[in-house]
């Protein structure tokens, strides 16, 4: 199903749901839906995008909710989720910090007859009823294609490249790498280029990414053509180091999330390419499933994923690549405002690229 057809199906399902709300009397003491988000430091998205968009969807459907942020702590994640189960939620939406801790929460929820939804990150070995995310291999493919296009534009004969991967505990990081390696690997082979370093960043920690990248730049002897970085937090950490060495803009760097800072860095040329994931589709997809589970109406999915022998019914969405040429897409979509991007990028960079 295309994104547009999926959005239409969700809208139709919500109509049924809102019709139901109008006539039903709800006597819920605690919240009906619980959400645990992972942190607020690995990417601004969880606080600036996911949380408000989920809140908006629940409010529109008249469903009560509680949204907590685990602040990067697995004990906090577990305590928050357990507290929501004690409060009597009907559905738990989880963005895991690692699979084992999330699988444990899901097992407890299942025992209590509470449905669970893996949001953005699949819990390996878990028991979630649904999974809502983007096609994360496709995200990585876009990142890799963007890096290859940048290397070509810079006319680099034998590219010297490093990988700055996401958290090894996040299944998405594995999928992103699978995607970008499928593009960059063969290009390096074809051009006689080199992958000089391949490092993962625990917890997607942006500060740690800077330290790791400094070492990578040293390993490369200060001569580097591209940093394949799994998100903007990591990419911008690399850019800060490149800046100190007057290498920003000359080195291709990828990102993901289309944050205001990330898009500004695209406009100034510090990042070569990033990935825009329309989070409203993801939040609405998960909220619709949760609302259906609460109300007992039909749940809308558009695919499934495999986790070992288990098949998880899923909502899978399509990402978009962003370069200087199409930053404007995120503004037209009302995902970002020109004002917030241009406050960081500067008016000249915005004017030069038609962002208004």
Residues interacting with ligand BGC, by CB under 6 A?
42-43, 45, 120-121, 170, 172, 204, 231, 256-257
**What's the rounded Cα separation, in Å, for the pair 222 and 340?**
33
Residue 203: CB minimum distance to ligand BGC, A? 9
Q: Which is closer to ligand BGC, CB of 216 or CB of 231?
A: 231
From 287, 294, 268, 241, select the one nearest 24 (Cα to Cα). 294
Q: Which two tokens stand for residue 93?
A: 């939406």
Residues comprising the chain, all counted: 356
Q: Which is closer to ligand BGC, CB of 88 or CB of 303?
A: 303
Q: Which is closer to ligand BGC, CB of 106 or CB of 225?
A: 106
Q: How far apart are the first and last CA of the chain?
A: 32
Q: Is 152 within 8 Å of 164 (Cβ atoms)?
A: no
**What's the rounded Cα separation, in Å, for the pair 123 and 179?**
19
Q: Is 281 within 8 Å of 319 (Cβ atoms)?
A: no
State the burial class of residue 73 (Cβ atoms within 10 Å of its Cβ: 0-12, 13-18, 19+).
Answer: middle
Name the phi and psi angles at 51, rounded to 5: -60, -55
Residue whose structure tokens are 């645990």: 36
Q: Which is closer to ligand BGC, CB of 229 or CB of 272?
A: 229
Q: Which is closer to ligand BGC, CB of 106 or CB of 257?
A: 257
Q: Which is closer to ligand BGC, CB of 32 or CB of 96?
A: 96
Residue 231: CB minimum distance to ligand BGC, A? 4
**What's the rounded Cα separation, in Å, for the pair 184 and 163?**
10
Q: How many CB atoms lie within 10 A of CB 96?
A: 29
Residue 173: CB minimum distance to ligand BGC, A? 7
From 266, 279, 253, select the one nearest 352 (Cα to Cα). 266
Q: Which is closer to ligand BGC, CB of 229 or CB of 251?
A: 229
Q: Which is closer to ligand BGC, CB of 17 or CB of 138?
A: 138
Q: Which two tokens stand for residue 305?
A: 């994923």
Give the contacts of 151 (CB within 8 A, at least 6 positions apart): 159, 187, 193, 225, 226, 252
């Amino acid at each position: 199903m295309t994104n547009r057809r999926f959005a239409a199906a969700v809208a139709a399902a919500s109509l049924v749901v809102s019709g139901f709300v109008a006539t039903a009397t709800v006597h819920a003491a605690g919240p009906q839906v619980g959400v645990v988000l992972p942190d607020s430091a690995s990417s601004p998205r969880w606080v600036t995008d996911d949380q408000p968009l989920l809140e908006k969807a629940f409010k529109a459907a008249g469903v009560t909710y509680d949204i907590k942020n685990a602040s990067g702590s697995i004990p906090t994640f577990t305590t928050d989720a357990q507290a929501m189960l004690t409060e009597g939620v009907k559905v738990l939406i989880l963005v895991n910090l690692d699979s084992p801790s999330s699988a444990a929460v899901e097992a407890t929820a299942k025992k209590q007859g509470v449905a669970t939804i893996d949001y953005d990150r699949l819990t390996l070995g878990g028991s979630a009823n649904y999974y809502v995310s983007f096609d994360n291999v496709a995200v990585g493919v876009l990142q890799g294609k963007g890096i290859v296009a940048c290397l070509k534009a810079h006319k680099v004969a034998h590219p010297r490249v490093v990988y700055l991967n996401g958290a090894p505990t996040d299944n998405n990081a594995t999928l992103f790498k699978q995607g970008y390696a499928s593009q960059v690997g063969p290009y390096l082979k074809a051009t006689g280029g080199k992958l000089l370093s391949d490092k993962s960043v625990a917890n997607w920690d942006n500060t740690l990414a800077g330290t790791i990248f400094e070492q990578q730049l040293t390993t490369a002897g200060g001569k580097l053509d591209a940093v394949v970085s799994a998100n903007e937090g990591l990419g911008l950490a690399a850019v800060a180091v490149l800046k100190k060495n007057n290498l920003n803009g000359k080195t291709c760097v990828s990102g993901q999330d289309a944050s205001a800072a990330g898009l500004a860095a695209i406009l100034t040329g510090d990042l070569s390419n990033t990935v825009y994931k329309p989070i409203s589709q993801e939040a609405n997809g998960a909220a619709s499933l949760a609302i259906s589970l609460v109300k007992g109406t039909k749940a809308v999915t558009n695919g499934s994923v495999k986790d070992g022998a288990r098949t998880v019914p899923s909502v899978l969405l399509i990402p978009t690549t962003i370069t200087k040429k199409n930053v404007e897409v995120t503004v037209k979509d009302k995902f970002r405002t020109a004002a917030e991007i241009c406050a960081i990028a500067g008016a000249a960079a915005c004017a030069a690229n038609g962002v208004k």
